[in-house]
Amino acid sequence: MLIRDQERSAERAATAPTLAGHRPTPPALRFLPGIVQFLGYAPWNAGGAIGERLLAYWLERGLSQEALAAVLGVDPGTLGGWERSLRVPTGRLVAVNS
């Protein structure tokens, strides 16, 4: 009897309406540090490229791209170029690339 009830429940769940076609919205930037702390790891790949590392850095800290650019003393467009691997840091910011 219990197995039959479980089978019926599974059938109902399989035919229940879904949110097909709707993508879940990503969490707001301000919630990302708490998510990383709760999980104990960053749920994205920081990779080895400068762009991936920079993106992971500001996401993990809940910073906007503009805020990180201000901290580094560069234009947000320059930071965006680094993130897309169109450019690499030079001069006093060479250490960011290593």
pTM: 0.55
User: Tokens at residue 33, please?
Assistant: 């540090």
Is-contact 83 77, C-beta < 8 A? no
The overall average pLDDT reported for the chain is 75
In a domain, 37, yes or no: no
Longest dimension (CA), the chain: 74
In a domain, 87, yes or no: yes
In a domain, 1, yes or no: no
In a domain, 94, yes or no: yes
In a domain, 41, yes or no: no
Residue type for 94, please? V
Average of per-residue pLDDT across 15-27:
64
What is the structure's pLDDT at 89? 78
Find the CATH number of the domain harbouring 55. 1.10.260
Domains contained in the chain, number: 1
Residue predicted with more confidence, 1 or 43: 43
In a domain, 73, yes or no: yes
Domain containing 83 equals 50-98
